[in-house]
Amino acid sequence: MKRIISAAMAAVLTLSLAACGSSGDELVSRTPFPQFSEVDTQGNTVTSDIFADYDATIINFWNNGCGTCIAEMPELEEFYQAFKEKNINLIGVASDSGESDEQLKTAQEILSEKGVTYTNLSPDPENELYQDFISQLAGYPTTYVVDSEGNIVGAPIIGNVKEQKDTLNRRLEQAMEK
């Protein structure tokens, strides 16, 4: 009897491990990124329709008081320039820049000093994007990958993106799979 139970447990374990070893593509979560209409730090309106223009979009949330966020901006700018030819966009979200004119000016100065050319949203704290999404972020910087249909691909990347480049590249590949 013990041998039968042992054999059955071994079979279950083997099947479980085999399932874990599958490609994993079917396990990639895709949840909708919130619909939004916000202005960028230059006053231009940007909506969630922008996702359809690219095969994938990297969205990096940062704030004025986050040293790691500011330090990684030149690296993100390099990614932005390199990914353009692959039809991948990068958008920054200056999370606290919509709180006051002073916060916006500080964000604009940071972006200028760091040589950032990619779009940076300045979310209104009264809008749903801020209240329902940004206010729920666990920390900064936080980066998401969004596919062309506006779905977040996988879990957020928290911390410096360059140090997690392999994860970023996997998410981008997953976002571009149809």
Phi, psi of 45 (to 5 degrees): -75, 135
Domains of the chain, by residue range, sit at 30-176
How many Cβ atoms are within 10 Å of 163's Cβ, its own excluded? 13
In the predicted model, is pLDDT for residue 11 greater than 50?
no
HSE-CB of 174 using CA atoms within 13 angstroms: 23
The 3-state DSSP class for residue 103 equals: helix
pTM (2 d.p.): 0.83
CA 51 vs CA 21, 68, 156, 174, 178: distances in Å: 32, 26, 17, 15, 15
More confident call, 8 vs 107: 107
> What is the per-residue pLDDT for 24?
42
CATH superfamily, domain at 30-176: Glutaredoxin (3.40.30.10)
Element (H, E) at 173: helix 165-176
Kindly report, residue by residue over 47-66, the tens digit of the pLDDT. Answer: 999 999 999 999 999 999 99
